Amino acid sequence: MKHLISSQDMAQFTASGYLKYEDMVPKDLCKACLKEMENNKGYLAVGMPFEETWPKDTALGEAFRLPKVKGLIQSLVGPDPLYDHHAAHLVKAHTTRGPDMHQDSVIDFRQNYFDIQLSFFPVDTTDEMGGTFLVPGSHFRNVRTGEIRGYQHITGKVWATCPAGTIYVWNTRVWHGARSNYTDQDRYMYKLRLNPTKPQIRNFDTSDIDNPEIGRILSTHHGWEGHEHRYELMKRIELWRYVSDQPDYDVGERFLRRREYQPQRIMA
């Protein structure tokens, strides 16, 4: 498959829980998609194969089947994903939003597993238009949906500002929310959630898997980790070991050894 993401990008997805790709959907197709979004209806068949479920003769059908988008999807959830749900999120012109931090759906403890959400922005989205905010790296912190609304502000929060045709792809456990739209223009974001059907191992381009930069990417400080950074790092390393199929991978002081190195348990 073409257009698979690099190992470095996969490491960044592991550490930060999201990736941003501009120029994914051409402008004309963006316009056609926007028209369809205005008439969005409810969910399709939840939990059914994406390829069978997703409409074929529509602009949105085409957008999520572009080779670049397919490569991105395959890199993260592998071949033959399932359609989970979709939605056209609208923040109307001149609509303000209060605190909205949440984790989607319900609490999700599945190990060595993640769903992805593709957030497609069909129009140029400026700072003032209130693009979705994300808390990079928060995807290892399980919470019950909207209970984190009380975290009004977090150091390191980012929000979508991008040209039309951009796709943000994120681990569905990333903390996020909507923002105020101060402009005269309605703000649309189209989201699609997908589930893997097979173990999410080495689905991305592994030609740069030994790049030493990967260790640095996995160690990223996003701003809010404080004294818990090394506990975050342990979670990231565990996920990286799994997706890269390197069960002994570790970095720096190798914190996972504090659990794993137990010679007293080895029987003669």
Which residues of the shown chain bind Fe ion in the complex (CB under 5 A)?
104
For position 225 contacting other proteins by CB under 8 A, the verdict is yes
Closest distance to other proteins from the beta carbon of 240 (Å): 16
Cβ contact 135:111 at 8 Å: no
Residues 6 or more apart whose Cβ sits within 8 Å of residue 204:
4, 5, 6, 7, 9, 10, 75, 76, 243
Q: Longest Cα pair distance anywhere in the chain, in angstroms?
A: 74
For position 224 contacting other proteins by CB under 8 A, the verdict is yes
For position 140 contacting other proteins by CB under 8 A, the verdict is yes
Tell the burial category of 211 from Cβ atoms under 10 Å away from its Cβ (0-12, 13-18, 19+): middle
Q: Rounded to an integer, what is the distance from CA 1 to the centroid of its chain? A: 21
CB under 5 to 8 A by kind: which of Fe ion, other proteins, none does 110 bind? none
Which among 10-18, 81-89, 201-209, 229-237 is the span making contact with other proteins, rule CB under 8 A?
Answer: 229-237
Query: Residue 104 or residue 205: which is nearer to Fe ion going by CB?
Result: 104
CB under 5 to 8 A by kind: which of other proteins, Fe ion, none does 104 bind? Fe ion
Written as six digits, the tokens of 153 are 């502000």
Closest distance to other proteins from the beta carbon of 187 (Å): 15
For position 113 contacting other proteins by CB under 8 A, the verdict is no
